[in-house]
């Protein structure tokens, strides 16, 4: 047996890969477990030998075998019971466990230093308690999206048409050849379903990947005494997690240490009130909740599926069926085009039936097809079936199933590329909405600046300090206390010779770094020498933080330290320390001197932070402790520091690009007004001549105190808002939206959540952004860089532009195909393009065309035009000009070939029809180049960069050659010689110079379809609306024939026409557009108008109209926005 297994106690630890630097009790504990499990292993081996289930290999060289024996860890604690205690908030049972300290001991966690954090330790904890992941519902398979595609009404119509065509074809031509038309429709349906299902499947997979990225939150933990960031998925039971405002609680656990901690548990309980967490009454923290205020350290007790959040999230699957506004508009357009095609098909059916039954059609031999009673019933049925099949084909081609596909492709493509450009899209609609953005409200810190802060100036009293040795010892001690004890950051140093590691916010890290490296701060010693009594945590509203402390050496005195925005701390002070440490009273003159020092640092783009102090007797502190408020009056100013945060490289160009594109950039920051103006000037947001006395730069309090009318008047002129609170940011967003602007807002803090939600596009920061801010945003800027915001703007415009390119391309084909078939059917009684040929054209423009045009990348030209109005017509006048000219050219050429082609080329009818088909397809190929640029004449610019486009063009041409030359029977074509191919190419190539010439023709800004009002006065185009001007006071508005004016008393007067006869006339006119009549309105005989003082009623009636609400949200924000009608 000794040859099989030899275990010596002196080699147990290295064999088990256990650390040797353990305490004596721990060593004994591990040796005891090793002995027990070695015995079990020996017993097991002997049993196996007896049973002869398998033979143990005898090692030839070593005299022992290494056993991977693991002791049963954490056996002193019942994890199931602990999990239940936390979930049920059972404080009494927690005390039975020995309280929080008892739980920490059982989990082998140091309350101050955390877990060991070694690879083996983490693995052991994950094996014992599970990992911090949760089971997700199975991902949707490809088959699911195939089934979803079949539910589409368009596809169902196509399948019905395919069945009809197949039946009619077999009836007329037999099974051998009759399946061609119906079969080709089935092939087209199969291709559309395949591309659509695969595209949606890939988009769903992309969403899942994005979800994994967005869920991979970074968490601050303390391991082996060192504070470090790890993934939320790496958190294990026993970890000590550091929490601050805006953080998501990563697991269930217990409160260890902290101050003023309040948690938003609404995600778990539905209650909106914040819950106070402390060690005395309620130490329980739950995964998925958000920190609303304060900071703390927590001990993790349950992770993953053992938490309520994990159980809940495992049942939730991400819904990717969000329909964007553009998709909704395209669905309407698709429906409209389909109805037009149906009307044409019905007209062709009627005309061809009339021609047939009146004897105006001839068969292949030139004989009259219908001779009344002399015609066989079977011949009549076959002819009618042929006519119906032709009409069905027109319906099939008319349905533009490629439009929704084009949107899906371009959105999926843009999302993928935006991810590469440091922008993670959380909501699809944000992709296209960003293209309409007219104003961007951006933060300063980290977005316009690098967020790499460093203390560059230090003032004591009224003197700048370059050498810290000049500071008196007592004053230096006060400064060190104010830095070390009034902070959420930390300092870590592995050994005495290694470098310091600083953690916390960028501002905290800068101050800690300065104090440690220049003022010789020993943070560990100070934390031992003082007890923290009460903390007021920093938030963006107060812009300061405070702490009260008591020295272990002097229990009769309490020190209060404040740190925060310089001018705010200065206002709380009545005295100051000079360099020698003497306290001096601060009169008005000295206060003004300090204000000038602060302004001077701010004008140099420095963030100014002040430190203040007050010493109070223990008795006074006990009295104030009941109110949980720190002393805020009659403080003594210790000193001022100036922190430099340099602007990001390239940010000025990004701002200029946005401004050149017609997008106004506003900076909203919590910094001093002078600092804000200096940074804004450096970034190009304001001109150097725009000072703080100019309306371009204001403080949040000033903006807040404006009357509503003043705010609406001045909001467009404001470029910088300093010392702003989250409420001020929200107020600005609301004002801008009421002015008809499409607003994008950047935010990183928890308090930015309302503004991010209110904005049309919320942009949160990926690095500095809190989890609350990220959840409220539409897009996450992963690198916190304003240049990435400008890139998102470019991509937003690209999405809209690509869709317009495809619409122009598709409508050109639709118009040409319908007119050619209609004219030919009426005049000749037959359609020149067969079902198979039309479906091939349909495939080119739908699937391949969508793929080619939907994946165009953004160009500089997109940033040279004004923002796209959300309510502008989807088909612009420029698009109408381009597509109508190309369609008319194709119609003229193909009809010429239809009626004169045989004599021009000297060919038979079969070759002529092939020439028409070939020319028509090649016209679409050449026109696909024209569609690349809606306005620019050079359509080839940048084409070499789009390899996919060139590849699709090449594939289309190759497939067309195959259709004409090799699939003659299937496609009903004849071979063409080189001369005929050259003629087809020459005719199609004319579309290039024609496209260049037509772009020289100017177009009216008035929407093309609005001219239909000449024919139909009540006609209202769904997407047509006059954009409100920035200076519009909204005292009047109109909708179709409805006109409203605001009276002096604030009521709205409704006028229908310039001339109204009586109340009944008004009632009839109102009923025409869907508005109710009295009692909601009062008729005034003198003014001959209807009035209402109830704006809610007016707004609710607008909602009753079958029109787009978002169109009125821009047009009538003073009504709809106030009442949130959506």
Q: Are 1042 and 1112 in contact (CB under 8 A)?
A: no
Q: Is residue 581 left, alpha or beta, with left meaning phi > 0 and alpha meaning psi from -120 to 50?
A: left
DSSP-assigned letters across all residues of 622-681: HHHHTTT----SSEEEEEEEEEE-PBPTTHHHHHHHHHHTT-EEEEE-SS-HHHHHHHHH
**Rounded alpha-carbon distances, angstroms, from residue 919 to 465, 520, 852, 890:** 83, 84, 21, 9
SS3 state of residue 1038: strand
Write out the two tokens for 787: 């240049």
Q: 890-896: long-range contacts (C-beta < 8 A, 24 or more apart)?
A: 890/812, 890/816, 890/820, 890/920, 890/923, 890/991, 891/815, 891/816, 891/819, 891/820, 891/823, 893/919, 893/923, 893/987, 894/816, 894/820, 894/832, 894/919, 894/920, 895/820, 895/823, 895/824
Cβ–Cβ under 8 Å, residues 750 and 761? no
Residue 184 in contact with residue 835, Cβ under 8 Å? yes
CA 417/CA 915 separation, integer angstroms: 41
Strand ranges (DSSP E) for 361-405?
A: none
Strand-pair category, 573-577 with 635-644: parallel
Q: How far is the CA of 570 from the CAs of 456, 562, 672, 918, in angstroms? A: 20, 11, 13, 82
CA distance 520 to 515: 6
* SS3 at position 1045: strand
In angstroms, the Cα distances linking 1050 to 712, 935, 1030, 1035, 1091 are 17, 45, 21, 9, 10
Please give the distance of CA 773 from its chain centroid, rounded to a whole number. Answer: 12
In the set 121, 220, 443, 972, the catalytic residue is 443
DSSP H/E element including 321: none
* CB contact at 8 A, 706 and 714: yes
- CA distance linking residue 302 with residue 411, whole number of Å: 39
Dihedrals φ, ψ of 375, to 5°? -85, 135
- What residues contact 404, with CB distance under 8 A and at least 6 apart? 196, 327, 330, 331, 334
Cα(563)–Cα(549) distance, integer angstroms: 14
Exposed/middle/buried for residue 67 (C-beta within 10 Å: 0-12, 13-18, 19+): middle
Give the start-end residues of each E strand in 542-605. 544-551, 554-565, 573-577, 583-585
**Strand spans (E) along 706-791:** 720-722, 743-747, 761-765, 779-781
Is 657 part of the annotated catalytic residue set? no
Query: Token pair 């065509």 is at which residue?
Result: 165
Strands (DSSP E) contained in 449-577 are: 454-460, 463-464, 490-492, 501-503, 530-536, 544-551, 554-565, 573-577
Cβ 420 vs Cβ 858: under 8 Å: no
DSSP state of 770: -
Distance CA 1110, CA 1126 (A): 8
Which string of DSSP letters, residue by residue, matches 527-538?
A: HHHEEEEEEE--
- Residue keyed to tokens 């109109």: 1038
Query: Where would I find the beta strands (DSSP E) of 360-445?
Result: 423-425, 439-442
Q: List the catalytic residues.
A: 443
């Amino acid at each position: 047996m000794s040859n099989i297994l030899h275990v010596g106690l002196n080699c147990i630890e290295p064999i088990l890969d256990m650390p040797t630097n353990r305490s004596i009790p721990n060593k004994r504990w591990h040796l005891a477990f090793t002995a027990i499990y070695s015995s079990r292993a020996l017993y097991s081996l002997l049993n196996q030998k007896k049973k002869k289930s398998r033979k143990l290999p005898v090692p030839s060289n070593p005299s022992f075998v290494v056993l991977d024996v693991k002791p049963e860890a954490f056996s002193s604690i019942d994890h199931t019971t602990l999990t239940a205690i936390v979930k049920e908030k059972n404080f009494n049972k927690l005390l039975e466990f020995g309280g929080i300290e008892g739980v920490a001991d059982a989990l082998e966690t140091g309350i101050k230093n955390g877990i060991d954090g070694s690879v083996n330790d983490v693995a052991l904890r994950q094996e014992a308690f599970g990992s911090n992941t949760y089971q997700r519902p199975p991902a949707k398979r490809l088959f699911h999206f195939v089934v979803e595609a079949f539910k589409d009404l368009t596809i169902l119509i196509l399948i019905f048409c395919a069945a009809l065509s197949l039946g009619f074809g077999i009836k007329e031509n037999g099974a051998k050849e009759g399946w061609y038309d119906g079969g080709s429709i089935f092939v087209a349906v199969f291709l559309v379903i395949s591309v659509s299902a695969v595209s949606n499947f890939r988009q769903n997979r992309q969403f899942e990947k994005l979800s994994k990225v967005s869920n991979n939150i970074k968490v601050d933990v303390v391991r082996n005494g060192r504070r470090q960031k790890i993934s939320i998925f790496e958190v294990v039971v026993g970890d000590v997690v550091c929490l601050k405002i805006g953080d998501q609680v990563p697991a269930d656990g217990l409160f260890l240490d902290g101050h003023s901690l309040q948690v938003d548990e609404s995600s778990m309980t539905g209650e909106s009130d914040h819950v106070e967490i402390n060690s005395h009454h309620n130490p329980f923290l739950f995964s998925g909740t958000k920190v609303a205020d304060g900071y703390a350290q927590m001990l993790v007790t349950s992770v993953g599926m053992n938490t309520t959040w994990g159980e809940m999230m495992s049942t939730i699957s991400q819904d990717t069926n969000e329909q964007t506004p553009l998709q909704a508009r395209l669905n309407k357009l698709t429906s409209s085009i389909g109805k037009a095609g149906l009307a044409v098909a019905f007209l062709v059916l009627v005309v061809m039936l009339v021609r047939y039954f009146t004897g105006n059609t001839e068969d292949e031999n030139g004989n009259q097809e219908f001779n009344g009673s002399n015609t066989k019933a079977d011949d009549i049925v076959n002819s009618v079936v042929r006519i119906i099949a032709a009409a069905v084909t027109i319906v099939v081609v008319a349905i533009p199933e490629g439009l929704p596909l084009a949107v899906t492709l371009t959105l999926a493509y843009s999302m993928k590329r935006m991810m590469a450009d440091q922008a993670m899209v959380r909501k699809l609609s944000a992709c296209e909405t960003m293209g309409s953005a007219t104003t961007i409200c951006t933060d300063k810190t980290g977005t316009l600046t690098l967020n790499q802060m460093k203390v560059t100036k230090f003032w004591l009293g009224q003197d700048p300090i370059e050498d810290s040795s000049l500071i008196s010892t007592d004053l230096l001690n006060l400064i060190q206390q104010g830095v070390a004890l009034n902070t959420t950051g930390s300092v870590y140093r592995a050994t005495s010779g290694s470098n310091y590691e600083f953690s916390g916010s960028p501002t905290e890290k800068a101050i800690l770094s300065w104090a440690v490296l220049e003022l010789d701060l020993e943070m560990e010693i100070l934390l031992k020498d003082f007890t923290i009594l009460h903390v007021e945590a920093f938030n963006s509203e107060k812009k300061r933080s405070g702490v009260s402390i008591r020295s272990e050496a002097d229990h009769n005195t309490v020190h209060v330290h404040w740190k925060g925005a310089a001018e705010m701390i200065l206002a709380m002070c009545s005295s100051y320390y000079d360099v020698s440490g003497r306290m001096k009273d601060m009169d008005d003159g000295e206060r003004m001197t300090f204000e000038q020092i602060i302004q001077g640092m701010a004008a140099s783009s420095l963030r100014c932070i002040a430190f203040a102090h007050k010493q109070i007797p223990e008795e006074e502190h006990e009295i104030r402790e009941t109110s949980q408020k720190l002393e805020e009056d009659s403080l003594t100013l210790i000193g001022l520091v100036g922190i430099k945060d340099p602007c990001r490289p390239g940010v000025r160009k990004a701002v200029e690009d946005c401004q050149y594109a017609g997008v106004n950039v506003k900076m909203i920051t919590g910094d001093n007004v002078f600092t804000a103006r200096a940074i804004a000037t450096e970034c190009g947001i304001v001109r150097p001549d725009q000072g703080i006395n100019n309306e371009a730069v204001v403080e949040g309090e000033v903006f807040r105190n404006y009357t509503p009318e003043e705010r609406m008047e001045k909001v467009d002129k404001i470029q910088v808002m300093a010392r702003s609170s989250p409420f001020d940011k929200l107020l600005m967003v609301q004002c801008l939206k009421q002015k008809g602007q499409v607003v994008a807002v950047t935010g990183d803090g928890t308090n930015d959540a309302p503004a991010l939600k209110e904005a049309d596009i919320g942009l949160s920061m990926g690095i500095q952004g809190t989890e609350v801010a990220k959840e409220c945003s539409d897009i996450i800027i992963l690198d916190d860089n304003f240049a990435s915001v400008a890139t998102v703007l470019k991509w937003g415009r690209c999405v809209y532009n690509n869709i317009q390119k495809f619409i122009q391309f598709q409508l050109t084909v639709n118009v040409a195909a319908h007119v050619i078939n209609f004219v030919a059917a009426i005049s000749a009684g037959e359609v020149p393009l067969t079902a198979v040929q039309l479906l091939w054209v349909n495939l080119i423009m739908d699937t391949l065309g969508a793929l080619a045009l939907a994946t165009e990348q953004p160009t500089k030209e997109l940033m040279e035009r004004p923002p796209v109005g959300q309510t502008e017509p989807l088909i612009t006048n420029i698009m109408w000009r381009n597509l109508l000219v190309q369609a008319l050219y194709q119609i003229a050429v193909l009809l010429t070939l239809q009626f004169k082609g045989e004599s021009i080329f000297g060919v038979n009818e079969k070759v002529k029809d092939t020439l028409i088909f070939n020319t028509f397809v090649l016209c679409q190929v050449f026109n696909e180049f024209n569609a690349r640029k809606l306005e620019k004449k050079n359509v080839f610019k940048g084409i070499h960069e789009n390899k996919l486009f060139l590849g699709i063009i090449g594939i289309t041409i190759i497939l067309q050659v195959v259709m004409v030359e090799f699939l003659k029977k299937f496609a009903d074509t004849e071979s063409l010689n080189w001369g005929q191919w050259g003629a087809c190419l020459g005719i199609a190539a004319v579309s290039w110079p024609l496209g260049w010439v037509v772009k020289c023709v100017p177009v009216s800004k008035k929407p093309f379809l609005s001219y239909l009002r000449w024919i139909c006065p009540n006609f209202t185009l769904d997407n047509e609306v006059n954009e409100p001007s920035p200076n519009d006071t909204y005292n009047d508005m109109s909708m179709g024939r409805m006109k409203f004016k605001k009276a002096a008393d604030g009521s709205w007067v409704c006028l229908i026409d310039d001339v109204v006869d009586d109340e009944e006339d008004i009632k009839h006119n109102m009923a025409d557009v869907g508005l109710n009549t009295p009692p909601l309105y009062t008729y005034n005989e003198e003014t001959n108008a209807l009035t209402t003082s109830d704006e809610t009623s007016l707004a609710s009636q607008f909602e009753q109209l079958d029109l787009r609400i978002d169109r009125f949200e821009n047009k009538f924000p003073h009504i709809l926005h106030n009442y949130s009608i959506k």
